[in-house]
Amino acid sequence: MKKNTIPQDYANNLIYDLQKAFWDERGKGARFRTTTVGREYFLEKCLDLIQSSDVDHIIQTICEVIQDENIAVSASFSIDDRLLQIQVEGCIHLQVEKKLIEHGVEPFTCVPANLIVLAIEEKLDRPVELAEVKIEDAVCNIQLVLFDERPSL
C-alpha cells in the first residue's frame, strides 16, 4: 500500500497563505494567537518523552524530536537566566518565514519554538513568550522569555 504524503512545497505554501491572511487581519496581534500551533503534534510525539522537570532536559528532548522527526537538520539552545536562545537550522518551514519576510511580514510564529513553549508550560506550569524570530541564512534564531511560575490559588 502506497503511503500518502503531502509535498513539502504544497504544505509550506498553505502555511504561508494562512499566516499571511492572519497577519493581514491581526497584524502583530497574530503572534499571540498562534502560540499553540503544533499542540496535537506535541501531545502525540513529545510529551511522553519528557522524563524530567529540568528545563534543560525538557528543551533538549524537544530539540531531539525536532531532529529525529526531520523537522530540522539541527536544533540547539542556550539559557541565560530567563532568556532562552534557540537555534534551528534547516527547518522544513524556513521557506514560509523567508516568504513572509519578502512580503514585509516579520516572522511571528515558529512550530519548533511552539513545541518548546508547550513543553515548558505543560511540565512546569511556567509561561513562556516568543520574543523574536530572526532568520540568518538557513538558521532561525529564536528568543523565548521564561517567566516565573504561575501563582497557586
The domain limits of the chain are 8-146
* Residue 75 burial (10 A CB sphere; 0-12, 13-18, 19+): buried
Separation between Cα atoms, residue 71 and residue 54, nearest integer Å: 24
CA separation for the pair 85, 3 (Å, rounded): 37
Q: Is 122 helix (H, G, I), strand (E, B) or coil?
A: helix
Model pLDDT, residue 2: 65
Beta strands 139-146 and 128-136: pairing type? antiparallel
- Say what percent of the chain tops pLDDT 70: 97
- Strand-pair category, 74-80 with 139-146: unpaired
- Predicted structure pTM score: 0.90
Classify domain 8-146 by CATH architecture: 2-Layer Sandwich (3.30)
